[in-house]
Amino acid sequence: METRRPTKDATARKVSCPACGTVYRIGEDINGKRHLKARCKKCGTIFPIDDPPQTNKEHSQESKSQTQGPDKSDETALRYKQTPVLQREIPHGGHDPFAVVIIIVCIIAMVFFAFMAYKSLTKGSHFNSIKRLLNSMTQKGLFLSSKKQVKPQTHRDLKSRKYSDLINAGHRYFRKKQYDRAIKLYTAAVAVDPDKVEAIYWRARAFQQKGETKKAISDLQKVIDINPNYVAAYNSLGWIYSNSRDWDKAITCFSRAIEINPKSGWAFYNRGRCYHAKGEEKKALEDAKRACDLGFELGCSVYKKYKH
């Protein structure tokens, strides 16, 4: 049996899918038939179509058919249950979901192809040359840029940054008492910039902690040769000489440190300790008092102990 697509008219009525709620219109040619089923185009659910409200005329015909028996046309309708093609109703002001999906897919495809075209262009030598030209013109101020121009890093800046990173990494291992690793990092920093004394000084300190005094003294001498006013190098040398009981060299180093920094209570205290070891108690007491006056607590305790 051929079914015709219904049109919207005054006699059409609405039915809704019980699964998804989609509303459909039933044409006049389907309204008069009973025991029909419909398939939802959206979710595929097959559901029966309820009978329309009966008028007085229809009620009389139904009572008549009950007394006389079923008609042949009714038997045919019961034997062949039709699945009519229904027309989905789109609400007023709404959008078709299928059309929205198609639009989104097209936009994604356009973005993808544009990205691939840009990627292929960036591989070309001509594009790179144009890009370099534009960058150079922007840096020279030929074009106004809304972004703040960043000054390009010079080789000296990069060198200084690498030197600082190596020093900081060496300090981390030095604090963990992993002196071999610290020495390797300090040595790498010296190779980056041999004119700076910080890496050489801390490498000497690491050698000193390992007990390699000769290497430590050699590095401290290098520090003094590069920077004769590096106070920490004189203090470290004086400490090494005092531990080896070379009092005269230790006193010379501490005296030089005091000349550069007269407010070093630590240098006064250690020079006084060397004087005390040599038996020069008067000089030792004077240095202890100077260390105490500068706020060095050990100098105060020594001075209070030996001042009488």
DSSP string, 191-232: HH-TT-SHHHHHHHHHHHHHT-HHHHHHHHHHHHHH-TT-HH
pLDDT at 17: 81
164-190 mean pLDDT: 93
Comparing 155-228 with 229-308, is the CATH topology the same?
A: yes
227 pLDDT tier (thresholds 50, 70, 90): very high
Distance of CA 81 to the CA centre of its chain: 64
Give buried/exposed letters for 193-227 (b at 16+ CB in 10 A, else e). beebbbbbbbbbbbbbeeebeebbbebbebbbeeb
Instruction: Determine the average pLDDT of the residues in 281-291.
Output: 91
Mean pLDDT of the chain: 76
Backbone phi and psi for residue 254, each to the nearest 5 degrees, phi listed first: -65, -35
Residue 21 contacts by C-beta under 8 Å, 6 or more apart in sequence?
none
Confidence at 45, pLDDT banded by 50, 70, 90: confident
Give the rounded percent of residues in the chain with a pLDDT score beyond 90. 43
- Does residue 43 surpass a pLDDT of 70? yes
Q: Look at residue 290 in the predicted model and tell me its pLDDT.
A: 92
Contacts of 247 (CB under 8 A, 6+ apart): 241, 274, 277, 278
The CATH class, in words, for 229-308 is mainly alpha
- Bridge partners (DSSP) of residue 87 are 25
pLDDT surpassing 70 at residue 30? no
Task: Assess whether pLDDT exceeds 50 at residue 234.
Answer: yes
First to last CA, the chain: 131
Element (H, E) at 284: helix 281-293
Boundaries of every domain in the chain: 13-88, 155-228, 229-308
In 3D space, the residue among 201, 200, 187 whose CA is nearest the CA of residue 235 turns out to be 201
Contacts of 196 (CB under 8 A, 6+ apart): 163, 189, 190
Q: Tally Cβ neighbours within 10 Å of residue 284.
A: 22
According to the model, what pLDDT value does residue 270 have?
Answer: 93
Q: Is residue 223 pLDDT above 90, yes or no?
A: yes
What mean pLDDT do residues 77-105 have?
Answer: 61
If pLDDT is split at 50, 70 and 90, which confidence band does 86 have? very low
Fold category of 155-228 in CATH:
1.25.40
